[in-house]
Amino acid sequence: MIRARKIAGALGAEISGVDLAKPLSGNDFGEIKRLWLEHLVVFFRDQTLTERQYMAFAQQFGEPIEYPLVKGLPEYPKIIEVKKLEHERAAFGAIWHSDTAYLERPPMASMLLARELPPFGGDTLFANMYLAFESLSDGMKALLSGLRAVNSSAKADVSKTREDRVRSDGKDAKTYSVEHPVVRTHPETGRKALYVNPAHTVRFAGWTEEESAGLLKYLYELQVRPEFTCRFSWQPGSIALWDNRCAQHNPVNDYHGHRRLMHRITLAGDVPR
């Protein structure tokens, strides 16, 4: 029997009572999908999956897609290694972000499977963008709902977090840039969520970077208030599945000198509206 336990007030639930190495029944898939939409990110423990089984689980939720900047595994190009090696200082994607918001169709969801973990640290933080938007005044909601933002893959802070992986596993260099609404409506729940992040958002469309900086800084700080977040501590075989349309995440880089290896799959999404 599938059971769920909330891990924080804002978002996040651990799901137990399911073996993801086996195909999900229609009822089990429906219940996991319901819990995922309710809690934005769901976690599974003690899942021993081969790459083939991991891909099969992902395909039940959506269409896996390749990551644009880093090559995937040779036999499974839509699974990428999110890793930090013992000698490296930067952790891949260690900044608050929504995955690949610089694409015209950012992924609907992302999932991580823990393969190798450091003896301490390496947790991941998640934040609820519904709550961030809902906390704003009516005036600010109205202002932001009329704005679009420019998102780029080339922002300096996030580029630094990818340098080691691009050097070892990178694809041909290309810069991606796109405009998306600052407030997007979730296509399944109908709820509104903030959709700007410090890793990829450059400025508001029609504004200069200087004009945009103050308001963006306020939104970035608002989005990650403790009451809007949860924290997940990994174990080998843990899986996280998050809704990229209404949640941000940030892996904590606090385990220098140790190795951390995760396998990530992203699922195709739609054009934010």
- Catalytic site positions: 97, 99, 249, 264
Residue 51 near residue 220 (C-beta atoms within 8 A): no
CA distances from 80 to 9, 66, 218 (A): 31, 8, 33
Helix, strand or coil, per DSSP, at residue 248: strand
If 0-12 CB within 10 Å is exposed, 13-18 middle and 19+ buried, where does residue 248 land? buried
Q: How far is Cα 118 from Cα 132, in angstroms, rounded to an integer?
A: 32
- Phi, psi at residue 116, to the nearest 5°? -135, 135
Buried b (16+ CB within 10 A) or exposed e, 117-151: bbeebbebbbbbbbbbbeebeeeebeebeebbbbb
| DSSP letter assigned to residue 228 | G
102 near 200, Cβ under 8 Å? yes
**Residue linked to tokens 């005036």:** 139
